[in-house]
Amino acid sequence: MTQRGQERRAEETEEQRNSRLAVMGQHSQQRRAEETEEQRNNRLVIMAQRGQERRAEGTNEQRNSRLSAMLQHARERRLNVIEG
């Protein structure tokens, strides 16, 4: 990203940022709606590979934090099932 773009984003208001992100999300949704099953599968494979690489590069502390968050999320889901 250019320095000018970074400066412009640093100066934007929260409303402008939200608008920019909403447009980006809409463009992504449109692209996904038009992609073939093969393209979708390829995109998901790439996402999975990146996740594996990120996890492989992480420290034990990051791994423990991630596992703790997963455990907490699972507990909350079970509580929601019991209560709901």
What's the rounded Cα separation, in Å, for the pair 47 and 58? Answer: 17
Question: Is residue 16 in some structural domain?
Answer: yes
Question: Is residue 65 in some structural domain?
Answer: no
Residues 6 or more apart in contact with residue 70 via CB below 8 angstroms: none
Please give the tally of structural domains in the chain. Answer: 1
Confidence of residue 1 (pLDDT cuts 50, 70, 90): low
Q: Residue 59: which H helix or E strand, with range?
A: none
Instruction: Summarize pLDDT for 23-69 with one digit per residue, the tens.
Output: 999 999 999 999 999 999 999 999 999 999 999 999 999 999 999 99
Decide if pLDDT at 7 tops 90. Answer: no
The range of the structural domain enclosing residue 34 comes to 1-59
Is the pTM here over 0.95, yes or no? Answer: no
Contact 12, 20 (CB under 8 A): yes
Question: Is residue 67 in some structural domain?
Answer: no
In the 8-state DSSP scheme, what is residue 21? H
Structure tokens at 43: 């995109």
Question: Is residue 27 in some structural domain?
Answer: yes
